[in-house]
């Protein structure tokens, strides 16, 4: 089963506002055994909205609209829905009750002079918005269902889960299915090398099990297989691991699953009952942020020091001035001392450090922008590596931090003492 998504907003098309609702809808639908069949992004224009609403409803049993539900002139979804259904706007008692409820939730008073949230197209059902002010709208035409939701990501997501998908499940055409995915997370090998040099038969072999996609991430490639109906996930994973065409890639697979680096690290450390600490320079706290975004991180994460300045490296992390003078802040020697000393100071089992150049300035011929030194340490034994990466400042910080998390994952996994 597939659904259509209509994203309404000139601000989306202009690039001023990034869309986050495709991911929210795809995730929510996947949990019901459904997929997005088509996404259309359009400007704020009534005729364009009507045309695309009609087209998507003709193609899909369920269509979701994001945006255009507010009280300003560029919010045109209600008027478009009137034209689509051939009905006028009219006062609706349930819509008025929802408007009052939504405003009371935020300690505010709604009146008819505030906005026209009480006016909706005749025959359309208003939907509660548990995270905002504007009610959603639910329209049925020729047996097809159309859901109009606010474009604010938090409101869109909450309304999907609480107000919309329960209605989808009640429809006679709905039949819940299970969509299983197998994710092979790799590192260190470019996409073209995987499929054209190392494993030229792999794609064809994987397609025997389902639909294959290859998605680059910060330090590698994710190979995802949407399994054919009826295939058992565990047994299929074992079959994939035994494929001769996959064998050359096995050393570069760090996970069979969809977890992020930080999620996998926390699960791994909890399973091995070890504590970790982090010393950051060029990543500027991003490592600590990623780790602490994972529920349960407090079980394994002791803390972090962001030592951006060299004096802080010396005073807080006890990096020797001689080391800084001899090798510079961006060096495996400094990274190693950072990792060793935070391990000792925090009494951790494993530690991680980063020092590098995220740019756009600060690089030299010997140490260019994109160079990072990452060290991992356990029991005072530090291992440091140098990596060279590409990207702007924000992307480099992401790549530095993800590579660092991966290095720590590999260190913890391969440590025989835990």
Q: CA geometry: angle at 209 spanning 203 and 215, to 5°?
A: 45
Report the pLDDT value the prediction gives residue 182, as an integer from 0 to 100.
97
pLDDT (tens digit per residue) in 235-284: 999 999 999 999 999 999 999 999 999 999 999 999 999 999 999 999 99
Between CA 198 and CA 192 the distance in angstroms is 9
Write down the pLDDT at residue 407: 99
Query: What pLDDT does 113 receive?
Result: 82
- Per-residue model confidence (pLDDT) at position 418: 63
End-to-end CA distance of the chain: 46
Tell which residue, 12, 163, 157, 131, has the closest CA to residue 74.
12
101, pLDDT greater than 70: yes
In tens, the pLDDT along 310-359 reads 999 999 999 999 999 999 999 999 999 999 999 999 999 999 999 999 99
Q: Check whether 220 has a pLDDT greater than 90.
A: yes
59 contacts 37 by C-beta, under 8 angstroms:
yes
Task: Judge whether residue 114 has pLDDT over 90.
Answer: no
pLDDT recorded at residue 417: 66
pLDDT value at 17 more than 70: yes
Q: What is the mean pLDDT of the chain?
A: 96
> Averaged over 36-48, what is the pLDDT?
97
* Structure-token pair, residue 229: 């109906």
- Average pLDDT, integer, range 193-218: 97
Q: Which domains does the chain have, with CATH numbers?
A: 2-170 (3.40.980.10), 181-256 (3.30.70.2860), 261-414 (3.90.950.20)
pLDDT exceeds 90 at position 175: no
Name the token pair of 252.
Answer: 């570069």
- Mean pLDDT computed over 293-301: 98
DSSP state of 197: I
Judge whether 339 and 279 are in contact, CB under 8 Å.
Answer: yes
């Amino acid at each position: 089963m597939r659904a259509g998504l209509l994203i309404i907003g000139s601000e989306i098309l202009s690039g001023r506002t990034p869309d986050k609702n495709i991911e929210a809808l795809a995730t929510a639908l996947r949990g019901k055994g459904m997929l997005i069949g088509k996404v259309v992004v359009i400007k704020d224009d009534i005729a364009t909205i009507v045309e695309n609403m009609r087209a998507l409803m003709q193609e899909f049993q369920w269509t979701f609209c994001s945006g255009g539900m507010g009280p300003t002139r560029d919010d045109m979804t209600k008027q478009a829905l009137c034209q689509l259904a051939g009905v006028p706007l009219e006062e609706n008692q349930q819509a008025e009750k929802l408007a009052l409820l939504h405003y009371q939730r935020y300690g505010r008073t709604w009146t008819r002079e505030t906005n026209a949230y009480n006016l909706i197209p005749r025959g359309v059902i208003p939907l509660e918005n548990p995270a905002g002010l504007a009610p959603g709208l639910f329209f049925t035409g020729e047996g097809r269902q159309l859901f109009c939701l606010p474009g604010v990501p938090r409101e869109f997501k909450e309304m999907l889960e609480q107000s919309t998908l329960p209605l989808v499940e009640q429809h006679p055409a709905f039949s819940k299915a299970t969509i299983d995915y197998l994710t092979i997370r790799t590192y260190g090998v470019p996409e073209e090398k995987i499929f054209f040099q190392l494993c030229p038969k792999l794609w064809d072999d994987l397609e025997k099990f389902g639909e294959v996609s290859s998605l680059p991430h910060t330090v590698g490639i994710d190979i995802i297989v949407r399994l054919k109906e009826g295939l058992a996930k565990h047994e299929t994973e074992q079959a994939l691991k035994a494929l001769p065409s996959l064998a050359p890639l096995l050393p570069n697979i760090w996970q069979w699953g969809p977890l992020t680096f930080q999620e996998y690290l926390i699960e791994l450390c909890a399973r091995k009952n070890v504590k970790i600490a982090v010393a950051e320079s060029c990543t500027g706290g991003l490592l600590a942020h990623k780790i602490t975004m994972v529920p349960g991180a407090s079980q394994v994460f002791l803390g972090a020091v962001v030592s951006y300045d060299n004096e802080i490296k010396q005073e807080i992390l006890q990096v020797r001035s001689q080391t800084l003078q001899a090798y510079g802040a961006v060096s495996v020697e400094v990274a190693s001392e950072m990792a060793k000393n935070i391990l000792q100071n925090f009494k951790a089992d494993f530690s991680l450090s980063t020092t590098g150049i995220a740019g756009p300035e600060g690089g030299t011929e010997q140490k260019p922008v994109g160079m990072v030194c990452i060290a991992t340490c356990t029991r005072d034994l530090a291992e440091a590596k140098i990596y060279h990466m590409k990207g702007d400042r924000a992307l480099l910080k992401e790549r530095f931090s993800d590579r660092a998390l991966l290095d720590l994952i590999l260190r913890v996994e391969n440590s025989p003492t835990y």
